[in-house]
Amino acid sequence: MNFFKSVIPDYNNKTHEQRRDWLVEHNVIGEKAKPFGIGYRIPTQGMSSMFAFQVADVLPEQVGDLIIVPREFTA
């Protein structure tokens, strides 16, 4: 959730659920979201070490900047 603090209007006055709902309604996260960024492996060894990603869901602010990736990503 920390990543979206500057995107969500009135962030500090919303609950986690309200923030998440705002992101889903605006297609920032969820099934309708378009690819959001580029991830890459270090060291990057070519195009096979990079991928476009979309954010499926967000964790509460208390967990910090934790990212959970699909199992296939680390294979």
Per-residue pLDDT of the chain (75 residues; tens, 9 = 90+): 888 999 999 999 999 999 999 999 999 999 888 887 888 878 888 887 888 888 889 999 899 888 888 787 766
pLDDT at 42: 82
d(Cα 14, Cα 35) in Å, to the nearest integer? 26
pLDDT at 50: 84
The domain total for the chain is 1
Which amino acid type is present at position 49? S
Global pTM value = 0.77
Q: Which residue segment(s) compose the domain that 39 sits in?
A: 2-74
Which amino acid type is present at position 24? V
